[in-house]
Chains A and B, each alone.
Chain A
Amino acid sequence: MTNTTKSPSPILKVWDAIWTPLLSVLVALIIAGIILIITGANPLTVYVSLVKGAFIQPGAFAETLTIATPYILLGLGVSLGFTAGLFNIGAEGQFYVGAVVSTYIGYAVTGLPAIIHLPLALIGGALAGALWAGIAGYFKATRGAHEVITTIMLNYIAFALTDYLINGPLRGKGSAPRTPEVLDSALLPKLFSSSDNLHWGFILALVILVGYWFLTQRMPLGLQIRTVGANPDAARYAGISVNRMTVVSMLISGALCGLAGASEVLGRYHYMPAAFTAGYGFDAIAISLLGQGNPIGVLIASVLFGAMNAGSGFMQLEANVTPAIISVLQAFIIVFVAAPAIIRSFFKK
């Protein structure tokens, strides 16, 4: 393999950007396979049923894309943080507050036409997420409090807060603790009228993806964010306020995560459950690392993670393995993506 200690040529860079994730996935599949064998399962059966459950069974691919939808937005959110040199590991909390606020707007605000009500609910969710992440950004900028700790703490606060709201003031009439149903005028409609769950949130996520590329690559603000992330001292020298960019980046990052929560409740659930099953925050980091901060990479990683989650139910039925193996698989993938040198040393000879 190449020795990439000194600035590699652009072709080598692209090569690295594609091969590192690919090899990481491959090696992770092998290692997870070994764990499966040790714990008494046949990896081949497991992986085949996973692929079947994610792509081949009726409606499977639509489910894969449905699950990928929040991942795209969350992956972009975390990536924007990385671009600014910030590690937003509080995506999950921002997702929760985004979801709960847009749900509330979705059922409590009445008498609006869909063309106003739906955007209002979406924006409400994004703003809530932005505010939640903005707290961490503000403390980082003004007091130097490390965002990794503050965003994690804000996660736990968000969980407790939504738990209180859903069991208390926002609780619906049913026996299960959840909010009332969102009104039709605030729902993200289904893409196809078939039995699957795929909704317009997916298209929204794709539009945001293009917008993300435009912001980071073509706008002055994006350039400033990238400069701060790449070299804060150089940014200061160029007259960019690092503190301001820290807050702005966290706001945008949180808005994307909040929007993911909004899309999930307005498009998929139609209400806010007491707890979401997926660990969105950690998945978001994984997707961002796997996508190497590139929007297309984030899209591919999101579909991959969507597929693994969508297929895991079928996998459990067919291969009798707990879906938690998916998290093991994902964890190995990102260990290798995060430490590409390990992967390179595997394939050196």
Chain B
Amino acid sequence: MEFLSDLLGLNWVSMLAQTLNTAVPIVLAALGGILAERSGVINIALEGMMLIAAYAAFAIGVVTGSTLLGLCGGIAAGALLAAFHAVISIKYRTDQTISGTVLNIFAVGITAYLYRQFNMTESVETFQQWNIPILSDIPVIGEIFFQQQPLVYFTIILVGVVQLALFRTTWGLRTRAIGEHPRAADTAGIKVNRMRYLNVILSGALAGLGGAWLIVEAVGSFTPGMTTGRGFMGLAAMIFGNWTPIGAFLAALLFTIPGAVQVKLQLINAPIPYQFLGMLPYILTIVVLVGAVRRNKPPAAIGKPY
């Protein structure tokens, strides 16, 4: 009974704020996945791009003492690995799932090596919370949406921007065209492979931003393998959201609820082993995939080199 009253006494509003905050990297990964897949390239290496970006953000942030430069370094590192993925899969026409997996392995290896070889013990100063004037004073809603760190706002804006760009601009139309029917797009004068390079590199930059979030907003220091499946959850969110930014955003929130609940339950020593709470996001990802896949259709030309 004591547990129940503890449960009711928890700050559920701050839990929802936490859910939104921790969804950031998954949303960014999902946006990256959408850009790549809409143009017809599978990007299963989002996880690796995030990991490399996290290390780059950490190392550059520590060396320069600037969190902002760390953030830029992370984005660049993600884009660089994505460029590699683009070359392997577009120019050399390698199986894109294999290329992506190999790059994931590469990311694990190189970051673990650099981390151990240079053994930096300092950490990066994380971005402060920005309270939006007036809006943050609104009860409940203010605390959930307007008392966050900068990348949270930026990510929400990005979701809207990518949604509009994908469905309302020439670039978006071309991207969708080369993902559905590259030959027809080519006939209409669209440079298919050039567009794909652009989209895959942008996708890496987004994943890089998501990876950098771990350093510049979440924890400030690097640990090997710290992305813990967020890139893959981003992919699942993308599928569940039917390859649309807004859909993926909502799906990503679903994955981060258990984590936020877990933090709160640990505070009150809930009689559930923490490992089971820790499993929930992964179980949810599978459930979501199983539920969504038949309903949602990927772009028609996905995975096929042109």
Contact = CB atoms under 8 A, between A and B. Distances in A.
Interface of A: 35, 39, 87, 89, 139, 143-146, 148-150, 152-154, 156-157, 160-161, 163-164, 167-168, 279, 282, 285-286, 289, 321-322, 324-332, 334-335, 338-339, 341-342, 345
B232 A324 contact: no
A139 B286 CA distance: 9
A161 B273 CA distance: 10
Interface of B: 44, 88, 92-95, 97-99, 101-106, 108-110, 112-118, 228-229, 232, 235-236, 239, 273, 275-276, 278-279, 282-283, 285-286, 289-291, 293-294
B117 A324 contact: yes
A146 B101 contact: no
Given A335-B102, A338-B95, A339-B94, A322 B116 contact: yes
B289 A146 contact: yes
A341 B87 CA distance: 11
Given A139-B289, A157-B282, A282 B235 contact: no
Contact of B103 (A87, A144, A148, A335): A335
A89 B236 CA distance: 16
Contact of B294 (A143, A168, A334): A143
Pick the most buried of A39, A145, A154, A285: most chain B CB atoms within 10 A of its CB.
Answer: A145
Nearest to A87: B97
A313 B117 CA distance: 15
Contacts of A335: 88, 102-103, 106
A153 B286 contact: yes
A163 B274 CA distance: 10
A289 B102 CA distance: 10
B81 to A, nearest CB: 11
Nearest to B44: A148
A96 to B, nearest CB: 13
A342 B93 CA distance: 10
A87 to B, nearest CB: 6
Contact of B276 (A139, A150, A164, A345): A164
- Which DSSP category, helix, strand, loop or mixed, fits chain A's interface? helix
Given A145-B293, A279-B108, A322-B117, 9 more contacts: A152-B232, A154-B286, A161-B275, A327-B108, A331-B105, A338-B99, A339-B92, A339-B102, A341-B92
B68 to A, nearest CB: 26
A145 B286 contact: yes
B88 A342 contact: yes
Contacts of A154: 282, 286
Given A160-B278, A339-B92, A325 B113 contact: yes
Pick the most buried of A35, A39, A338: most chain B CB atoms within 10 A of its CB.
Answer: A338
Contacts of A149: 232, 235-236, 285-286, 289
A334 B276 contact: no
A88 to B, nearest CB: 11
A163 B289 CA distance: 25
Contact of B105 (A39, A157, A282, A326): A282
Contacts of A341: 92-94
A84 B235 CA distance: 23
Contacts of B232: 148-149, 152-153
Contacts of A163: 275
A259 to B, nearest CB: 23
A338 B98 contact: yes
Contacts of A345: 92
Contacts of A39: 114, 117-118
A136 B114 CA distance: 34
A338 B102 contact: yes
15 contacts: A143-B291, A146-B239, A153-B232, A153-B282, A161-B279, A279-B108, A322-B113, A324-B116, A327-B105, A327-B110, A331-B106, A331-B110, A332-B106, A335-B106, A339-B92
B95 A145 contact: no
B116 A145 contact: no
Nearest to A150: B286
Contacts of A164: 273, 275-276
A145 B92 CA distance: 28
A122 to B, nearest CB: 27
Contacts of B286: 139, 145, 149-150, 153-154
Contacts of B103: 335
A150 B92 contact: no
Given A139-B289, A339-B94, A156 B228 contact: yes
B112 A324 contact: yes
B37 to A, nearest CB: 12
B108 to A, nearest CB: 7
A286 B106 CA distance: 11
A144 B293 contact: yes
Nearest to A283: B105
A143 B119 CA distance: 45
A134 B87 CA distance: 34
A87 B110 CA distance: 23
Given A153-B229, A324-B113, A145 B105 contact: no
Contacts of B285: 149, 153
A327 B102 CA distance: 12
A146 B113 CA distance: 31
Contacts of A279: 108
Nearest to B48: A331
Contacts of A331: 102, 105-106, 108-110
Pick the most buried of B93, B118, B235, B279: most chain A CB atoms within 10 A of its CB.
Answer: B279
Contacts of B293: 143-146
A335 B99 CA distance: 7
Contacts of A146: 239, 289, 293
